[in-house]
Amino acid sequence: MAGVDYLADERNKAEFDVNEMKIVWAGSRHAFELSDRISRLVASDPAFRKDNRPMLSRKELFKNTLRKTAHAWKRINELRLTEEEANKLRFYVDEPAFADLHWGMFVPAIKGQGTDEQHQKWLPLAYKMQIIGCYAQTELGHGSNVQGLETTATFDPQTDEFIIHSPTLTSSKWWPGGLGKVSTHAVVYARLITDGKDHGVHGFIVQLRSLDDHSPLPGIIVGDIGMKFGNGAYNTMDNGVLRFDHVRIPRNQMLMRVSQVTREGKYKQSNVPRQLVYGTMVYVRQVIVSDASYALSRAVCIATRYSCVRRQFGSQNGGAETQVIDYKTQQNRLFPLLASAYAFRFVSEWLKWLYTDVMQRLQANDFSTLPEAHACTAGLKSLTTSATADGIEECRKLCGGHGYLCSSGLPELFAVYVPACTYEGDNTVLLLQVARFLMKTVSQLGSGKKPVGTISYMEQAEHLMKCRCEVQRAEDWLKPSVILEVFEARATRMSVACAQNLSKFANPEEGFSELLADLVEAAIAHCQLIVVSKFIEKLRQDIPGKGVKQVLGMLCNIYALHILHKNLGDFVSTGCITSKQASLANEQLRSLYSQVRPNAVALVDSFNYTDHFLGSVLGRYDGNVYPNLYEEAWKDPLNDSVVPDGYHEYIRPILKQQLRTARL
Ligand SMILES: CCCCCCC/C=C/C(=O)SCCNC(=O)CCNC(=O)[C@H](O)C(C)(C)COP(=O)(O)OP(=O)(O)OC[C@H]1O[C@@H](n2cnc3c(N)ncnc32)[C@H](O)[C@@H]1OP(=O)(O)O
Ligand SMILES: Cc1cc2nc3c(=O)[nH]c(=O)nc-3n(C[C@H](O)[C@H](O)[C@H](O)COP(=O)(O)OP(=O)(O)OC[C@H]3O[C@@H](n4cnc5c(N)ncnc54)[C@H](O)[C@@H]3O)c2cc1C
């Protein structure tokens, strides 16, 4: 039955122009064309096959990743791909690898924290992959608490060198991706010590392995930290352990943009904030928000297509059973995730703009927007990765039993994705950074310092503290101004309540510690407001294509009203809405589900994912699930023989023994 489109009826129901939506999703026509071309290139290359991953042992898996990464690098050079194209190629190869850390953290760390001379020396080597680097910050004993790192970099004025040392077991670097088996170099974060004085954590470029035979350099112990969650999944990555025994590096390998050590051993700080040492994390958190929209959209694409194929109950007179997507429960679980994928896509676009803007300002020595950029990247990284990890698991359940098969693509997607809630900053720890920012903003209200950017709503704090929601009919919930006001009022009231409770403590740090759970909730309310407001802003733009804006409007409302429904406690207890208005919101949500339903498959087609990238029998573009699922089962190594290995040793003796017992 090759070539039959089992989802054709679903596609015909769409009320909008899918090709235009593909461009909206990609961000521009250029981005769409590039992404489309590169995804097909990867899908058509057998060297990038990935369906066998769950069957491979760790060693085979890792070697396979090395082979693919080398092949990708070869293709990037042969085809003379641009940086943008090369990044897309790595994205569509879809296998966590050391190169992610090389390009995603090692190079950005040198770019962001190195001087011009350091750029000139190290970047050409890194760009040509003549050295391969990783980002070695976390230690066995300290991850979240960066200021608690123990590795030392002590300046020796005699030799003009730093001595990098791991004084304790807990100071062993632990987790850096690419470190375990591949990286030749690392940006190592260590406490800088000059003349007996500790200046806190700074970054240093350290060579780890010989460029001739890859053996660790003297004084360096390095290896992989072991198997991680899920078979396949993130085990393609060599997360590593690293110990230094008085390893000497030249002075000019300290990254010296933020602060310098002179030949005489004097410590000097540039006129840039010390937090720029954390700049690579801000950059990566912003990338992670974008990745969240891709990971969630993949899971949603699989669950949506399969929910249209899958039928259960409701057959009349021998006719077809009901498509499970038509159950309101399925819609109530699936459509908010579909809406979230789009919401995260748009907020990530905005965050990328914010990050670029901050970088331009930093070049001009304007550091004023750095705190907001830190709060936004930290908060949105936390919000979107938590929602995506939960969303992928929900999609697995939405696919029933078949979702638990590796061939659904969902178990591996979940296992690969879930550490995003921890890496690049534990999600709770990051929300507490947002909460600090919010408490500072509240404390400055009325001081004449105007809140700007994403926090500018607090300028209307007086109004937002007492305003009443005007919704009287379900349709009133479709007004963007109504939605914005209730989200702003809820965020303001939760922050102000925290600030008031904090003020009851004589010691603010003690108060902060006592109120951590409330502070996290206030931070989440603020971040959800940002996502909602950026979706609404997107809809204010000119969006061409028949029906595209209308269907995006439905998704925006679903996102906002679903968040409202899930957090009713906050909205009602802060007096932002009444329980009657809450039930009107629910009524509106049900109606929105019915409106989105005919567009569901077209909305996931708009992600433009190839079957190779999706890696899911359930999410196949043609919807031809059952024959392929059946065929896939026979490929399992267990089915290589009809009688399994072990029959003679373990099954037969039991069976024979039972026969003897039965005769007695
Ligand atoms: C694309 C690549 C592929 C992805 C693969 C990802 C692989 C994973 C890699 C990693 O995980 S790398 C390691 C990542 N580690 C972390 O994220 C650690 C998390 N911890 C921290 O970031 C910090 O320690 C902290 C939690 C922010 C606390 O830092 P510190 O104790 O120094 O700060 P505070 O005293 O709380 O705050 C001081 C002051 O500084 C502000 N601030 C903190 N961080 C930043 C920042 N990044 N940028 C700008 N400003 C920052 C903070 O808000 C405070 O401001 P004030 O309140 O004093 O105004
Ligand atoms: C797959 C993966 C890849 C990684 N890659 C890298 C890498 O390339 N380079 C690198 O340097 N690191 C890397 N890491 C390390 C990662 O950045 C850290 O694991 C992360 O920052 C969390 O730190 P932690 O492990 O110390 O967690 P902990 O801080 O020990 O967290 C444990 C628990 O304590 C809670 N907690 C901690 N502090 C507070 C607080 N102040 N208030 C309230 N609760 C708190 C947390 O919420 C969490 O529930 C990676 C980690 C993983 C899992």
DSSP secondary structure string for all residues of 137-158: --BSS-SS-GGG---EEEEETT
Catalytic member of 424, 485, 488, 521: 424
Domains and CATH numbers, the chain: 107-270 (2.40.110.10)
- Among 422, 436, 515, name the best residue to mutate to test ligand 2's pocket (greatest count of ligand atoms within 8 A of Cβ): 422
Could you give the ipTM of this predicted complex? Answer: 0.99
Binding-site residues, ligand 1, Cβ < 6 A: 100, 104-105, 135, 137-138, 144-147, 177, 275, 278, 281-282, 284, 287, 370-371, 374, 423-425, 429, 433, 436
Taking the C-alpha atoms of residue 155 and residue 408, their distance in angstroms, rounded to an integer, is: 54
Nearest to 349 by CA among 285, 290, 281: 290
Angstrom distance (rounded) from CA 510 to CA 12: 60
Give the pLDDT of residue 1. Answer: 42
Q: What's the pLDDT score for residue 661?
A: 56
pTM of the shown model: 0.97
User: For residue 232, what pLDDT is reported?
Assistant: 83
- Give the sign of the dihedral formed by CA 642, CA 645, CA 647, CA 651: negative
d(CA 268, CA 646): 69
- Residue to mutate (ligand 2; options 144, 381, 417; most atoms within 8 A of CB): 144
Please state, in angstroms and rounded to a whole number, the distance separating the CA atoms of residues 419 and 577: 36
Q: What's the pLDDT score for residue 602?
A: 98
Tell me the CA–centroid distance for residue 109 and ligand 2, in Å.
19
Rounded distance between C-alpha atoms, residue 159 and residue 161, angstroms: 5
Chain-centre distance for alpha carbon 423? 9
Nearest CA to ligand 1 atom 20: 144
Q: What are the beta bridge partners of residue 242?
A: 173, 222
Contacts 24+ apart (CB under 8 A), 124-128: 126/102
Give the residue among 297, 333, 433, 295 at the shortest CA–CA distance from 373: 433
> Active site includes 424?
yes
Pairing mode of beta strands 173-174, 185-194:
unpaired
- Give the per-residue pLDDT at 659: 56
Nearest to 435 by CA among 375, 368, 505, 373: 375
**Distance in Å, CA 433 to ligand 2 centroid:** 14
pLDDT at 662: 55
Question: What pairing do the DSSP bridges indicate for beta strands 267-269 and 259-261?
Answer: antiparallel
Judged by its nearest atom, the ligand closest to the C-alpha of residue 180 is 2
Alpha-carbon span 254 to 268, nearest angstrom: 13
- Kindly report the protein residue whose alpha carbon is nearest to atom 28 of ligand 1: 145
Distance from Cα 426 to the centre of ligand 2, integer Å: 5
Per-residue pLDDT at 363: 86
Q: 579-596 vs 328-363: helix axis angle to the nearest 10?
A: 100
CB 165 within 8 A of CB 193: no
138 is in an annotated binding site: yes
Q: Which regions of 307-353 does DSSP assign to beta strands (E)? A: none
- How far apart CA 424 and CA 426 sit, in angstroms, is 7
Nearest to 284 by CA among 129, 139, 109, 136: 109
Q: pLDDT tens digits for 345-365?
A: 999 999 999 999 999 999 898
pLDDT beneath 50, residues of the chain: 1
Give the integer Cα–Cα distance in Å for 298 and 341. Answer: 9
Q: Is 177 annotated as a binding residue?
A: yes
Quote the pLDDT of residue 663: 56
Ligand nearest to the CA of 239: 2
Q: Looking at the CA of residue 432, tell me the nearest atom of ligand 2.
A: 42
Q: 386-433 pLDDT, tens per residue?
A: 999 999 999 999 999 999 999 999 999 999 999 999 999 999 999 999
Model pLDDT for residues 226-274, shown as the tens digit of each residue:
999 987 899 999 999 999 999 999 999 999 999 999 999 999 998 888 8
Best of 374, 388, 455 to mutate for ligand 1, by most ligand atoms within 8 A of CB?
Answer: 374
